[in-house]
Structure 1
Amino acid sequence: MSTATSRRGDSRISPVFLGIAAITAVAGWAVWTDFASQPGFAVFLFVTGAWIVSLCLHEYAHARTALHSGDISIGAKGYLTLNPLKYTHALLSIVLPVLFVIMGGIGLPGGAVFIERGRIQGRWKHSLISAAGPLTNVLFAIVCTAPFWLDLLDGVPDTFRYALAFLALLQVTAAILNFLPVPGLDGYGVIEPWLSYKVKRQVEPFAQFGLIAVFALLWIPSVNQVFFDVVDALLRALGVHDWDTYWGQRFYRFWQGTPEIPVFTQ
């Protein structure tokens, strides 16, 4: 196989990703048309599928930015195919984030793609590689909330509206958590190139515990309340009401019983 052919294969979109995207699209259609006899299950498939798609795009953004910054090994690792099975830690990148959505409605940061940082020169490039992932979540949140802040919801079925609002909540929580300057998260990766060697050596042993520490803090009621107050404030600024996200999560948790479709009131 020639090098050019190999490189094209390295960036060819994976059938696994296309399958996930297809399931998401079909589930979204079922929610929109009220085709499913159990709208909650359709909402579950739609939101979960869209969430996995966003996780894949998050990791792809890291990989693509690293490739253009000098790490030409990215393609051979399969990161440009959007295949979640190619990630260094598929459990951390896909399985745990989905479980946390199911358990608590939190967009837990995933990770990871292995980037050979030694191939990359320049602190700004290192920072941009780390920022690329959560910026994808920000973009996803803007797209999900666009019908709300552009006042384009006339004719949109209520159930689809609620599902979109809950998906937006996940993207906002993921963006906030990812941008925290905590070792092991992308926010720390943004500032790490600008820290002294001594500080980086002192912080390095704690990187593997950063995500666990953040999750533990979110279990503290007062911290959890402040966090979701910030999330709700951002969503309200984007036109998404607490009503929307509440019912989105209710429909998402179909195993708790499908609620009657409420009528939205301002």
Structure 2
Amino acid sequence: MTTAITRRGERRISPVFLGILAVTAVTGWATWTGFAEQPGVAVFLFVTAAWIVSLCLHEYAHARTALHSGDISVGAKGYLTLNPLKYTHALLSIVLPVVFVIMGGIGLPGGAVFIERGRIKGRWRQSLVSAAGPLTNVLFAAVCTAPFWLDALDGVPRDFRYALAFLALLQVTAALLNFLPVPGLDGYGVIEPWLSYSVRRQVAPFAPFGLLFVFALLMVPAVNREFFQAIYALLDGLGVDDVHRYCGENLYRFWEESNEYCAVIR
């Protein structure tokens, strides 16, 4: 019923997103067929474009769930077009996550659609709006790892396997970070409607610094080790072993010296 209130143009998929999707498809084909002379370049473009697609879908999931929960303002804001340039903070949602992937191979949570919470009635709906984004990353990770946990790798080119493994690493990292119950992250948004007003009021000033706090913690060696051990354990459970994950990241960072082991088994 709420979708009828939005104009058709407010729900039309943006050419910007279609362009990113086209880059993903072409570079994915190049990675699969080995068409590119430099496979690392094709993997880099494929994973980066696919990562941006997942970020757009993450924000879209927030907006679409909010729309069906009562916030009809998301259409006028352009959130339903999948256009990353329409986000409240394109820097936080797109630029920084891509930079962190390139620099450190970590899936940085986005989160820059402005939802008018006052329009959404019911705590369950409030929680679902927050959970919709990281659940998209969970779904994306399931798709990327499907050939592994379905034992359907026969016929899948090795470089494409590596690319999927690294992309899955990014999705699992983003989902786990986003679900942390830290102010400013989606995990806190899930539990926030169930907290008392006094607690929410006391926590609110810390929300802008939540992500910085998480990354400060990850700088602590013991915390960093435990965090990534959890990530690797999840990937192992999905059938993605250390070789695929490591060589995927190595191939993605093509500008660095290639690991001899990965070069040999390729």
Q: What TM bracket, shorter-length normalisation?
A: over 0.9
Shift of 1:178: 0.3
Partner of 2:232: 232
Partner of 1:149: 149
Matched residue of 1:247: which SS? helix
Matched, 1:70 2:105: no
Matched, 1:117 2:117: yes
Shift of 1:9: 0.3
Contact 1:39 1:258 in 2 (8 A): no
Consecutive unaligned residues in structure 2, runs of 5 or more: none
Superposed CA RMSD in Å reads 1.5
Contact 1:149 1:238 in 2 (8 A): yes
Query: How does 1:171-210 map onto structure 2 within 5 Å?
Result: 171-210=171-210
Shift of 1:261: 3.5
Shift of 1:262: 3.9
Query: When the two structures are superposed, what TM-score results if normalisation uses the length of structure 1?
Result: 0.96
Contact 2:5 2:72 in 1 (8 A): no
- Cα distance in 2 between the residues matched to 1:236 and 1:149: 9
Matched residue of 2:112: which SS? coil
Aligned length: 262
Shift of 1:263: 2.5
Shift of 1:6: 6.9
Deviates more, 1:214-223 or 1:164-173: 214-223
- Distance change >3 Å, CA 107–CA 167, structure 1 → 2: same
Identity of aligned pairs, percent?
78
Partner of 2:265: 263
> AA paired with 1:148?
F
Matched residue of 2:161: which SS? helix
> AA paired with 2:159?
T
Matched residue of 2:265: which SS? coil
Shift of 1:250: 0.3
Query: How does 1:88-167 map onto structure 2 within 5 Å?
Result: 88-167=88-167
Contact 1:109 1:174 in 2 (8 A): yes
- Cα distance in 1 between the residues matched to 2:264 and 2:170: 22
- Cα distance in 2 between the residues matched to 1:193 and 1:245: 37
- Distance change >3 Å, CA 220–CA 21, structure 1 → 2: same
Shift of 1:5: 10
- Cα distance in 2 between the residues matched to 1:149 and 1:71: 38
Shift of 1:220: 1.5
Shift of 1:150: 0.3
Contact 2:6 2:75 in 1 (8 A): no
Partner of 2:23: 23
Query: When the two structures are superposed, what TM-score results if normalisation uses the length of structure 2?
Result: 0.96
Consecutive unaligned residues in structure 1, runs of 5 or more: none
Contact 1:40 1:258 in 2 (8 A): no
